[in-house]
Amino acid sequence: MESLKVELGDRSYPIHIGAGLLARADLLQPHLRSEQVCIVTNETVAPLYLAQVENMLGKHKVSTVILPDGEQHKTLETVSVIFDRLLELGFSRSCTLIALGGGVIGDMTGFAAATYQRGVNFIQIPTTLLSQVDSSVGGKTGVNRPLGKNMVGAFYQPRCVLIDTATLNTLPERELKAGLAEVIKYGLINNPAFLDWLEQNMAALLRRDASALTKSITVSCQEKATIVAADETEAGMRAILNLGHTFGHAIETAMGYGEWLHGEAVAAGMVMAADLSWRMGLLQQEQAARAKRIIASAGLPVAPPALTPETFVRYMAKDKKADQGKLRFVLLEALGKAVVKGGVDGSLLATTLSAGPRLAAS
Ligand code: NAD
Ligand code: GLY
C-alpha cells in the first residue's frame, strides 16, 4: 500500500492506495466521529462494492442512500435526496458521509457533507480511475446547472481518501480511458518525466496492468496533493489543473450532460489548448502534435464534436476562470509547463474552435 498526505494544516488528510483496501477497516475507523455513518452510492456501484464497505463499518449504525447513476443526475434535486434521508434518520452533526463511487457521487456527497447542518465528516472511496486520480482529492464538491457545469458547490475537504485499485477491474473500458485523460493531464501540466513514462506504458495501462495502474494513480495523486496544498481554493496556480476544462466543460454542457464523458471532453479540450498554445507562439508545433498523439494513444477523442465557434464561446463564457465575461485559458509553454492567460487573440481562438480534426496539425 502507498500512503500520501494532502498537507492542509489541521485539515491534512491521508490518501491510501492499494489493491484490497476495501477490507482494511483499520484505515477507515480512525476517521469516523460517531456511530452515525451514511454511505452514499449509486445503483451501479452498490451491487458491486456496498457490502464490502458495510462490512468494514462493523458495529456502526450504517445507513445507505442509493442514487440514480449518471452525470445528468448531478443536481441539487439529487443532493436533496441525501439531505432528506439524513433528516429522516435523525443524523446529527457528528455523523459521517462516505462517498462510494465515481466523481459524480463524490462531488454530490461532498457537497451534501459541506452543507448538511453546516458541515459534517466526509470520506471518499473512489471507484473509477478518474475519481481515484482527480475528483476524490482536493475538496472541490458541487453540482451542475443546465447553463453550466459544477456551477454550484463548495470547497470541502474529506478526512480520508481510500483507493482500492481492485475496483478498477469492473470499470467499463470507456470509463477507464476517460480516467486516463486526467492522468495525462498531470504529465502535460507539470511532469515531463511522467509524460515519457505514459508514452511507454499506455498499452499496459489499457490492459489494466496492476502495477502500471497503481503507479499512475500514485503519481497523479501526489501531483494533485502538492498543488492543492499550495493553493487550496484556486486563488492562483491550482487553475492549471483545469487544462482542457474550459473547452471540455463547454462540450459537456452543450452536448447535454452524460453524452460526452467528462474525461473525453477534457481530452479533446487538452488538444484544443495545445493547438491554441501553438497558434499563440507559446508551444512548438511538434510538442502540440506529441500531446495529441499521447491522448490518441489512450483511445480518447482528439477533436471536439461539431459545435459552432459561437456555441463554444457562449458556454465558455460561463467558465469559473472567466473574469466578468473575459475568458482565461490554461495553456502550455512546454509539455510539462502550464500557464494561465487571458487576453487571447479572438482570431487565433476562432481558428482553434473551427479546426476540428486538423487540431495541432500544420
Ligand atoms: P461517474 O461518477 O459518472 O462514474 C462513471 C461510471 O462508472 C458511472 O456509471 C458509475 O456508476 C460507474 N462506476 C463507478 N465505479 C465503478 C466500478 N468500479 N465498476 C463499474 N462501474 C463503476 O464519472 P467519473 O468519471 O468518475 O467522474 C466524473 C465527474 O467527476 C464529473 O461530474 C466531473 O465534473 C467530476 N470531477 C470532479 C473533480 C473535482 O475536483 N471534484 C475533478 C474531476 C472531475
Ligand atoms: N479538477 C480540478 C481541480 O481539482 O482543481
According to the model, what pLDDT value does residue 323 have?
77
* Structural domain total, the chain: 2
Q: CB of 279 within 8 A of CB of 297?
A: no
For residues 13 and 156, membership in a common domain is answered with yes
Please check whether residue 360 lies inside any domain of the structure. Answer: no
Per DSSP, 6 falls in state E
Q: Which residues does 351 contact at the CB level (< 8 Å), separation at least 6?
A: 279
Which structural domain range is residue 268 located in? 173-355
262 annotated active-site: yes
For residues 251 and 302, membership in a common domain is answered with yes
- From 135, 170, 205, give the residue that closes a domain: 170
Closest-CA residue, ligand 2 atom 5, reads: 241
Pair type for strands 337-342 and 96-101:
unpaired
For residues 146 and 178, membership in a common domain is answered with no
Q: 139, 137, 162: which is closest to 17 by C-alpha? A: 162
pTM: 0.97
CATH label of the domain that carries residue 99: 3.40.50.1970
For residues 104 and 201, membership in a common domain is answered with no
For residues 212 and 129, membership in a common domain is answered with no
Please check whether residue 361 lies inside any domain of the structure. Answer: no
Q: CB of 159 within 8 A of CB of 122?
A: yes
- Ligand closest in space to the Cα of 109: 1
Please check whether residue 203 lies inside any domain of the structure. Answer: yes
According to the model, what pLDDT value does residue 321 have?
78
Q: Determine how many CB atoms are found less than 10 A away from the CB of residue 354.
A: 12
For residues 184 and 332, membership in a common domain is answered with yes
Please check whether residue 219 lies inside any domain of the structure. Answer: yes
* 127 C-alpha to ligand 1 centroid (Å): 8
According to the model, what pLDDT value does residue 111 have?
98
Q: Distance between CA atoms of 210 and 169, rounded to whole angstroms?
A: 9
182 annotated active-site: yes
Mutate which of 109, 129, 130 for ligand 1 pocket (most atoms within 8 A of beta carbon)? 130
Residues lower than pLDDT 50 in the chain: none
For residues 59 and 154, membership in a common domain is answered with yes
Q: Distance between CA atoms of 72 and 132, rounded to whole angstroms?
A: 21
- From 139, 170, 201, give the residue that closes a domain: 170
- From 170, 193, 210, give the residue that closes a domain: 170
Cross-strand bridge partners of residue 101: 126
For residues 285 and 178, membership in a common domain is answered with yes
For residues 348 and 317, membership in a common domain is answered with yes
Pocket of ligand 2 (CB under 6 A): 134, 138, 140, 238, 241-242
Q: Distance between CA atoms of 234 and 56, rounded to whole angstroms?
A: 35
* 130 C-alpha to ligand 1 centroid (Å): 6
Q: Distance between CA atoms of 98 and 184, rounded to whole angstroms?
A: 28
Mutate which of 131, 170, 246 for ligand 1 pocket (most atoms within 8 A of beta carbon)? 131
* 135 C-alpha to ligand 2 centroid (Å): 7
Please check whether residue 362 lies inside any domain of the structure. Answer: no
Helical (H) or strand (E) element with 34:
none
For residues 156 and 196, membership in a common domain is answered with no
238 annotated active-site: yes
Closest-CA residue, ligand 2 atom 3, reads: 241
Closest-CA residue, ligand 1 atom 2, reads: 102
The three grid cell numbers given for residue 63, joined into one nine-digit string: 445507513
Please check whether residue 135 lies inside any domain of the structure. Answer: yes
CATH label of the domain that carries residue 234: 1.20.1090.10
Please check whether residue 276 lies inside any domain of the structure. Answer: yes
* 136 C-alpha to ligand 1 centroid (Å): 10
Q: Distance between CA atoms of 205 and 184, rounded to whole angstroms?
A: 12
According to the model, what pLDDT value does residue 59 have?
77
For residues 183 and 299, membership in a common domain is answered with yes
pLDDT per residue over 50-80, tens digit each?
Answer: 999 999 998 778 999 999 999 999 999 999 9
Please check whether residue 350 lies inside any domain of the structure. Answer: yes
- Ligand closest in space to the Cα of 40: 1
CA distances (Å), origin 331, targets 249, 250, 274, 286, 288: 16, 17, 7, 15, 11
For residues 150 and 180, membership in a common domain is answered with no
pLDDT per residue over 270-297, tens digit each?
Answer: 999 999 999 999 999 999 999 999 999 9
